[in-house]
Amino acid sequence: MRPVRLSVATAVAVAAALTAVTGCTEKSDASSSDDNLIEVTATDSKCEVSKKEFPAGHVEIAVENKGSKVTEIYLLFPDDRIVTERENIGPGTKQTVTAEVKAGDYTIACKPGMKGDGIRQDVKATGGTVAKRDPRLDKAVAAYRKYAQAQADETLPKVKVFTDAVKDGDLEAAKAAYAPSRIGWERTEPVAESFGDIDPKVDFRADGLEDGQEWTGWHRLEKALWQDKKITDEDKTLAAQLVTDLTDWQKRVGKADITPTSMANGAKELLDEVATGKVTGEEERYSHTDLVDFKANVEGAEESYNLLKPVAAENDAALTKELDKQFAALNALLDQYREDKTSYEFTSYDKVGDADRKELSDAVNALAEPLSKLAAAVVK
């Protein structure tokens, strides 16, 4: 589920913890005279940008949160599709995100409290085109799109097993099919924002909804199965809607706007989500199947990384060495929670104690910090 939606109090605590544990916030010493640097000052009521025009190509957005609320930063196309983003920017911290942009109009949005449309500034990328890209990066994007398409194609049959059980009123069969139906979606979450409005339809929790937004998707059905312990006619209708929405997702993969930097940034954002939603047990709060999502998220992030690695390794060998080490460590830790390393039968997360959850959190944070540098290494 992206973007992560937390209460303000929880988000402040999470951001502070991430900063303290990982040091993943980035301080930019670059001057605003750098043509490709946009400095953004975010407060609870303002979103100030250092420039309204900048050259097309590789762009760095350096954000400083001077407000009292956790904020998010988005670079948006005119139709509100997301070019790049960075979430959970705590008060008093700085972060930098790298993107590739073509000439044209864009919007920068700061979202204090991580709610609503945000405070917006119109900006423009001018002159020239996107900087010439290593052909290996074009191959990486094509390979990742193929991977995402395969995940979507393989997900639909598993979803239909789940939704058929719901339609049949078979509570136990629906429970058994729930987690497997989500694996392909969770693997593609590094680029979930590229699929438009599918994410809020299929993967939002109740506390992530905006005012007036209808709750649909997996987690609405998860609540029915594990908490309500019954399947209603409304649930059967929602099951049919889930198939419709995910079929739409399957058709959008080939048209999604994916770039090397969106792959890299998305992988980093996904690890942040794991730290704030999976490790805490918030996402699968009824079924406690968090570790299945967790593993699929790590696989999706690692796929993005592995495809970008040949270029990143040439530009920053020390970074890729560290990423290899941290991915291996996190995967080894996750393997401790399943008997068969080829299966997705993981320990129910309500059986995982606080100390073990902290160990998982530390491993995620140890990976997220170097992963935040992948986009910059790719476009050097």
Q: Classify residue 370 by burial, with Cβ atoms within 10 Å: 0-12, 13-18, 19+.
A: buried
Residue 376 reports pLDDT greater than 60: yes
Encode pLDDT of 6-54 as tens digits. Answer: 333 333 333 333 333 333 333 334 333 478 899 999 999 999 999 999 9
Is there a contact between 374 and 28 (Cβ–Cβ < 8 Å)?
Answer: no
Residue 87: pLDDT band with limits 50, 70, 90: confident
| pLDDT for res 1 | 52
Segment 62-89 shows an average pLDDT of: 89
Q: Say what the pLDDT of residue 276 is.
A: 81
User: Do 137 and 260 meet the contact criterion of CB atoms below 8 Å apart?
Assistant: yes
Phi, psi of 83 (to 5 degrees): -80, -50
Mean pLDDT of 100-108: 91
Contact, 55 vs 125, CB < 8 A?
Answer: yes
State the average pLDDT over residues 148-153.
Answer: 94
Whether the Cβ atoms of residue 23 and residue 366 lie closer than 8 Å to each other: no
* Average pLDDT for the chain: 88
Cβ atoms of residues 155 and 246 within 8 Å:
yes
Q: What is the pLDDT of residue 164?
A: 98
Question: Please, which contacts does 197-201 make with residues 24 or more away whose CB atoms are closer than 8 Å?
Answer: 198/245, 198/246, 198/248, 198/249, 198/252, 199/1, 199/2, 201/241, 201/245
List alpha helices for 169-232, DSSP H: 171-187, 198-202, 218-223
| pLDDT value of residue 114 | 87
- DSSP character at residue 44: S
Provide the terminal-to-terminal Cα distance of the chain, rounded to the nearest Å.
31
pLDDT of the residue at 131:
56
Least confident span in 4-8, 218-222, 275-279 = 4-8
Question: What are the contacts of 214-222 at 24+ separation with CB within 8 A?
Answer: 216/241, 216/242, 216/245, 217/242, 217/245, 218/178, 218/181, 218/182, 218/242, 219/1, 219/283, 219/286, 221/166, 221/174, 221/178, 222/178, 222/284, 222/286, 222/287
Distance CA 247, CA 180 (A): 17
Higher per-residue confidence, 241 vs 213: 241
Yes or no: say if 63 and 105 are a contact pair by the CB < 8 Å rule.
Answer: no
- Measured CA to CA, the distance from residue 81 to residue 121 in angstroms comes to 15
Closest CA to 8 of 91, 82, 64: 91
- Which uninterrupted H or E stretch holds 232? none
Residue 128 has pLDDT above 90, yes or no: no
What lies within 8 Å, CB to CB, of 353 at 6+ separation is none
The model's confidence at residue 79, banded by pLDDT at 50, 70 and 90, is low
Check pLDDT > 80 for residue 145.
yes
Per-residue pLDDT reduced to its tens digit, 261-276: 989 998 998 888 888 8
- Short-list 245, 225, 218, 244, CA closest to 173: 225
Tokens 């048209």 locate to 255
Going by the DSSP 8-state scheme, the letter that residue 227 receives in this structure is: I
Is 0.85 topped by the overall pTM? no
Confidence of residue 77 (pLDDT cuts 50, 70, 90): confident
Q: Write the CA distances from 32 to 38, 50, 62, 133, integer angstroms.
A: 7, 7, 10, 25
Residue 156: count other Cβ atoms within 10 Å of its Cβ: 15
Calculate mean pLDDT across residues 282-303: 95
Q: Which residue has the higher pLDDT, 195 or 323?
A: 323
| Predicted confidence band of residue 130 (pLDDT cuts 50, 70, 90) | low
For residue 132, the 8-state DSSP code is P
Q: Which residues pair with 99 in a beta bridge?
A: 59
Q: Given this model, what pLDDT does residue 243 score?
A: 98
The amino acid present at 264, given as its one-letter code, is A
